Amino acid sequence: DGGITQSPKYLFRKEGQNVTLSCEQNLNHDAMYWYRQDPGQGLRLIYYSQIVNDFQKGDIAEGYSVSREKKESFPLTVTSAQKNPTAFYLCASGDGSPGQPQHFGDGTRLSIL
């Protein structure tokens, strides 16, 4: 079955540590997205990528970094510069055509030790 796989499901970060969240899709989608979800705030866009080797900042990119070396993969690194990283992180993909939905993975919950 085609879909989006996020790993790990749960992740713990120590102070001053960078951590990387994995996102892989086999839907052959060109566009991929990272969202942060906090209670009562909906989804906020961190980064997005429309094609390989290209990505743009979203609304809350500070303290995060991404890469897009392969069409299937869009890893997100939460750096030590992100002072409040505790959240639920969702990865999504889409073919980028007008009116087409985004498809979501099952998320990674990041907590601070």
Partner 1 sequence: AQSVTQLGSHVSVSEGALVLLRCNYSSSVPPYLFWYVQYPNQGLQLLLKYTSAATLVKGINGFEAEFKKSETSFHLTKPSAHMSDAAEYFCAVIGDNYGQNFVFGPGTRLSVLP
Query: Which residues contact partner 1 by CB under 8 A?
Result: 4, 6, 31, 33, 40-43, 45, 48, 50, 58, 88, 90, 92, 94, 96-107, 109
The distance of closest approach from Cβ of residue 16 to partner 1 in the complex, given in angstroms and rounded to an integer, is 27
Quote the CA–CA distance of 9 and 80 in Å, as a whole number: 20
Q: Pairing between strand 64-66 and 10-13?
A: unpaired
Distance CA 98, CA 112 (A): 38
Answer for the pair 84, 78: CB distance below 8 angstroms, yes or no.
no
Q: Which residue lies nearer to partner 1 by CB, 20 or 100?
A: 100
In the bound complex, what is the minimum distance in angstroms from residue 61's beta carbon to partner 1?
Answer: 13
Nearer to partner 1, 19 or 47 (CB): 47
Q: Which is nearer to partner 1, 78 or 92 (CB)?
A: 92
In the bound state with partner 1, the residue whose beta carbon lies nearer, of 31 and 80, is 31
Q: Shortest gap between Cβ of 28 and partner 1 (angstroms)? A: 16
Query: Min. distance of Cβ 68 from partner 1 in angstroms?
Result: 14
**Of 52, 13, 12, 15, nearest to 32 (Cα)?**
52
C-alpha distances out from residue 19 to 65, 99, 113, Å:
10, 34, 13
Q: Fill in the amino acid letter for 27.
A: L
